[in-house]
Structure 1
């Protein structure tokens, strides 16, 4: 809802819109300038809640017809521009972005067209292995989804409260204030709780965000007279105290934008700062006539113009950022940032003039049925386009799967890890396995999205999820223990198990390395539960006595309260306690040195560069991560505690490659594909057999 849609023009609110969208855009173009610029979205939420509620309090819906008319206005206000940007983003991604982005963009666009993409993102955000996925061009529609869900439910609440208040003889404004206060308090409490226990989901889900819109609604219900909406704000010429409140509101928003960062737990209680700032400015008012308040600054013509086009600016800026990064292969710099900004403003101006404004025209106000019909048809077009793209990706995926099966069957001395160090011809981009478009899904069976079930203990509780692979009746048991960098070795062990009749039992955790230390997680509860999982699993291994424990980890998190150097030493001590304890029980332990890590999505890079695989390679010295387990094994001098280092199957003397033996080596920025892990089985086998032999020769 625009600040111009009321009976009185609130230039201060239009100025606040301009500030909000400026924070978001600058944050996405140059985060270092405003590291907390994402709070602009929270300011938008407060504004939207205020304006919508002011309208509803002035004219509460009394019938289904009133509700239909209200939602019809929302459709005309929001859908034309948003669906235009969705279609443009789908087409641009298909034509310009690497094929690794097609499916995710289409899936998000379909959810965005139905205004549920925030829930889809919440589900994906809690998946650790999805954390390195490139953002899609329509990911920013999550905030619009939250608003649309609010717009659907809020008038129902208002109508219900007004009806109940009249029947009970209670003042409607008093009842509305009370109802909005309850919603604000309950949602805020849930936001604080969820941000603590599940911050990835809390950022996107509506129940953790609706309090911000409800806070704006609370201000509207408190300040707005039902019969003279906006009159009080227009006639009031703020004195020193209201002006101070307005300046304080701006200062709070600025403080959040300057001091928050991506590391700030959000939303939770931290969101209260920008929300309170927006509430203060709206409640105190800052008309342009005021000499003391910020009204004149907010009423400047360029600021007002930016406020007018803020919705379209928000819609266009993010697709332009994502597509630019995808095309150039580089982060946004000063020149590209300036180009994106100019393009955003030009597209926003055109969209506001040619799309937004005509659909807000009064002549359309009574055409409710047509509004719904056209809106549903337009949404259907976007859903259909996205679905067609997903069908194309699925067809390519099926062909890639057939190609992969044939390649695994044929193998050969120039396939996968066997090709490292040999003079082998390179396959063309179209002959790579797995194909770049599906490499991100080429994961071990332990991952729930590719296997029968997930085999991962995960934060915050790290409940035990053991799985068995290989020969269930095998007399030799091999336990695979560690975090995701242990799980990536499952295909290699499965290949060995098939040859030797072994049983493989997994003890895997997402992010939690098998070191007896407190590891720093986003969710504070996970710090203790991860440590408990490590100790509990180590004790179970000592009790069940498998024939061999294979362990591998990546240092995903620092030790609590320590820097990098201190964390490395803490990990060494933690690994020594865990692995030493298992070996002391007479169980052989084979530690696999952590694999080289590119640090960027290899499927995306290969899809962008196509036949130029060298563009995705990197120096061995930077790709090879520090792994404290190397020092632990060297210092132990225990024949039951061994190390195997297969770095040379990834890298030459100075360079590590993203494609080896025509196989894409990584499915993201640091996990190896299941196909490449399978080709590593012959090089892992000697170390596994030696470790098993050491265990059999141990004194009984």
Structure 2
């Protein structure tokens, strides 16, 4: 049903979509505005398929011409946006975040942003709110589609053109089914990847294979109203907690298809063809490109976006988007600057290569830390430091404390919490002249016989074997004490509420420990497994005269970006203050007391439990202090080096003082 004439109502539909996305990102209502991207996918599938079928029908289709047109349409504005984002990032971002931005720019150049962002976060996770190029995931989905789809269409057209609709429907059903399955098992894959999004583009493609409507009826008016309702309702009814896409994406996809099908002759079609909406639709691509980096960089600078800031960002986005459309999009799309196919393809390759080279140099330099003054680099170290000098990805031994030819006095064994405590342990051991070895491996709790609830059998076996090797080495070294430092609360209770923002509830269980295959353990099941294995491990060490010392977890803050926000406050904003005092003693106990009591109950002649809570809360009415001249917390649960020295060095000096030193 592809029309040869311009359809203004489609640009109006683009406007509705981009308005939803932009207002969602700005936090100005529209909690489900992210469905606007799904509408874009339907429109793209419809328009691209219509072009393909018309040219194939006229026997003038060229794959190279098709890709050249895609280059003219997509690449220039995207390149300008990414270059601008890299320039702004160089002025505002910390080296680690600038290097991360460069990595995402490289992924964008390779048309793999969607794959890049599946690594360790979901679209709705708080961490994603600070990725300036996060929104390029949808461009990668479309670009991957444009690479594959014309080849499929050409093949089917040559073999059996009358079966195109059947092929589109079959592949769309497979894609939708995969999306439905993945949204429950791995939401990130379902959200970002083409196999789970392809059905949305194919819905538009299928629409383009239908005969063009010649007559109008009252039913068209009803279908158009219903279609608009299906597009708008999710923008208000969905939110970050909605399992998406999967079946939840059906309303906006079907709604967009109905609006395209009913056309511009209905009252809704004429409303979508309203001049103001059409103008926004014309700049919708540039508006989509530019609004998100502005939002991210504003968050970096002012910490909390007020309504005034949000409206200012909206105005700036509209202005820059118009300029991008007028002076970048239109000259290239019209062919004024890339008149031939060869020029367009060469431009696409050379500009991508140049951008990749620039981004690679930024990444390789670690984000050019030398561009910042020394006093800021010290604060930045609190953001980036993670105890790497004490850790080993294979849980291998690293010397810590006083080192000589004598026997090992103690072992520090832990996960990333052990690594964050290591500077304090090292300082205390040096002062007491105690020789130690550290076995620290991020994400690997220091207890034998346990694994994470979401692990398959092979991964569980590997984790158990790794910890068995560690304890065997510990026994061979014959220390007087083994200090266990871990994030015990998360292992029994799951992730805290700050970490669960934007994540499905199933994620909470992935950090809990088990010793039997239980996919979603309760506190009782996880804590019982931890208690069993601690007792078993303590008994093994007791045979060799080694004492097991369990260090209670440090209090969790309620701020996931403490060090980064502290840096932003120091560099940009004297008016926007980061709360210096966060978690109350009552909040701390509500979150951690059950696990603390469990660990305390493991005390035996050979198992000791030590607690530094009094270092964090001197009195019951105190709140957790997360910074002074330096940030004490890196995120909601890890101490910075400054925090470890401030809170834990006195505690470890006291706790380690009983270890006799053999001369």
TM range (shorter): 0.7 to 0.9
**Judging changes above 3 Å, is the alpha-carbon distance between structure 1 residues 50 and 597 closer, same or farther for their aligned structure 2 residues?**
same
Q: Which deviations, in whole Å up to 9, do the C-alpha atoms of 1:235-265 show, x marking residues without a partner?
A: 432431x333332222222332223221222
Mapping of residues 580-595 of structure 1, within 5 Å = 582-583=534-535, 586=539, 588-595=548-555
1:538–1:495 Cα change, 3 Å: same
Evaluate the alpha carbon distance shift between residue 494 and residue 238 of structure 1 in structure 2; reply closer, same or farther with a 3 A threshold. farther
Q: 1:536 to 1:86 in 2, by over 3 A?
A: closer
Task: Name the CA distance, whole Å, in 2 between partners of 1:290 and 1:689.
Answer: 83
Distance 1:536 1:528 in 2: 12
**Distance of aligned partners of 1:255 and 1:124 in 2 relative to their CA distance in 1, 3 Å threshold:** same
Q: Distance in 2 between matches of 1:196 and 1:10?
A: 38
Q: Secondary structure at the match of 1:668?
A: coil
| Corresponding residue SS for 2:378 | coil
- The alpha carbon displacement at 1:45 in A equals 0.9
1:103 CA drift (Å)? 1.9
2:290 is aligned to 316
* From 543, 563, 575, the counterpart of 2:527: 575
SS in 1 for 2:117: helix
Q: For structure 1, which segment, 644-653 or 145-154, has the greater mean C-alpha deviation from structure 2 after superposition?
A: 644-653
Residues 70 and 127 of structure 1, relative CA distance in 2, 3 Å threshold:
closer
Q: 2:300 aligned to 321, 326, 330, which one?
A: 326
**Any stretches of 5+ residues in structure 2 without a counterpart?**
401-405, 476-480, 498-504, 513-520, 543-547
Runs of 4+ in 1 over 6 A off after TM superposition: 61-65, 473-477, 494-499, 512-519, 527-541, 543-547, 558-561, 611-614
Q: For residues 290 and 34 of structure 1, what CA distance do their matches in structure 2 show?
A: 26
Cα deviation, residue 393, structure 1? 3.8
From 73, 96, 111, the equivalent of 2:107 is: 111
Cα deviation digits, residues 588-628 of structure 1 (max 9, x gap): 45142333425142332233233799954521544973312
Q: Is the 8 A contact 2:447 2:534 kept in 1?
A: no
Equivalent-residue separation in structure 2 for 1:516 and 1:489 (angstroms): 24
Query: Paired residue for 2:592, among 627, 631, 634?
Result: 627
CA contact (8 A) 2:416 2:442 kept: yes
Give the TM-score normalised by the residue count of structure 2.
0.77
**C-alpha distance in 1 between matches for 2:322 and 2:123:** 38
Distance 1:244 1:56, change over 3 A: same
Closer/same/farther in 2, CA of residues 650 and 365 from structure 1, 3 Å limit: same
Distance 1:56 1:436, change over 3 A: farther
| Matching residue within 623, 634, 642 for 1:667 | 634
1:202 positional shift: 3.1
Which of 172, 175, 179 is 1:184 aligned to?
Answer: 172
The one-character-per-residue Cα deviations of 1:57-112 (angstroms, maximum 9, x if unpaired) are: 11139999811111111111112222222222222222244555322222222332
Correspondent of 1:351 among 324, 329, 332: 324
CA deviation after TM superposition for structure 1 residue 383, in Å: 3.1
- For the aligned residues, what is the CA RMSD? 4.7
Q: 2:36: which partner in 1?
A: 40
Match of 1:122 in 2: 118
Q: 2:143 maps to which residue?
A: 148
- Post-superposition CA distance 1:379-404 (Å, at most 9, x none): 3443344344445545538x99xxxx
Equivalent residue for 2:655? 687
- 2:69 alignment partner, one of 67, 73, 76: 73
Residue 23 of structure 2 corresponds to: 26
Say whether the 8 Å CA contact 1:663–1:675 is kept in structure 2.
yes
* Aligned counterpart in structure 2 of residue 255 of structure 1, from 233, 258, 262: 233
1:644 maps to 2:639: no
1:60, 1:158 within 8 Å by CA — same for their partners in 2? no
Distance 2:459 2:610 in 1: 25
Aligned partner of 2:216 in structure 1 is 237
| Distance (Å, rounded) in 2 between the aligned partners of 1:538 and 1:640 | 24
Contact map agreement 2:551 2:609 (CA 8 A) in 1: yes
Q: What count of residue pairs does the alignment treat as equivalent?
A: 608
Match of 1:526 in 2: 454
Shift of residue 478, structure 1, vs aligned partner = 5.1
Residues 514 and 534, structure 1, Cα contact 8 Å, conserved in 2: no
Q: Deviations over 1:657-690 (max 9, x none)?
A: 5556x76533334322367547845632543676
2: CA distance, partners of 1:638 / 1:610: 48
Contact 1:517 1:570 in 2 (8 A): no
Q: Is the 8 A contact 1:596 1:647 kept in 2?
A: no
Q: Which residue of 2 aligns with 1:285?
A: 262
Change (3 A) 1:360 1:496: same
Distance 1:127 1:360 in 2: 31
Partner of residue 278, structure 2: 304
Q: Quote the offset at 1:40 in angstroms.
A: 0.9
Instruction: After TM superposition, list the pairs within 5 Å mapping 1:420-435 onto structure 2.
Output: 430-431=374-375, 435=378
Distance 1:191 1:16 in 2: 25
Alignment correspondent of 2:486: 552
Counterparts of 1:485 and 1:539, CA distance in 2: 16
Secondary structure, aligned partner of 1:595: coil
Instruction: Work out which of the residue numbers 420, 438, 442 in structure 1 matches 2:385.
Output: 442
Contact 1:477 1:505 in 2 (8 A): no
- Measured in 2, the distance between the counterparts of 1:689 and 1:534 equals 36
Alignment check: 8 A CA contact 2:407 2:435 kept: yes
1:565-590, CA deviations, whole angstroms, 9 ceiling, x for partnerless residues? Answer: xx9x9747853663366348646451
Distance 1:238 1:529 in 2: 60
Aligned to 1:411: none
Deviation at 1:198, TM superposition (A): 2.3
Which of 234, 244, 247 is matched with 1:269 structurally?
247
The CA deviation at 1:508 is: 6.8
Counterpart residue number, 2:157? 162
Structure 1 pair 237–62 and aligned structure 2 pair: CA distance change class (3 A): closer
Does residue 216 (structure 1) correspond to residue 192 (structure 2)? The answer is: no
Is residue 95 from structure 1 mapped to residue 113 from structure 2 by the alignment?
A: no
- Counterpart in the other structure of 2:130: 135
2:501 is aligned to none
8 Å contact from structure 2 (residues 224, 266) kept in 1: no
| Distance verdict in 2 for CA 1:657–1:206, change over 3 Å | same
TM-superposed CA distance for 1:144, in Å, is 0.9
The 2-side partners of 1:131 and 1:295 are apart by: 37
Kindly provide the CA deviation profile for residues 544-568 of structure 1, in whole angstroms up to 9, marking residues without a partner as x: 897646253244437989x9xxx9x
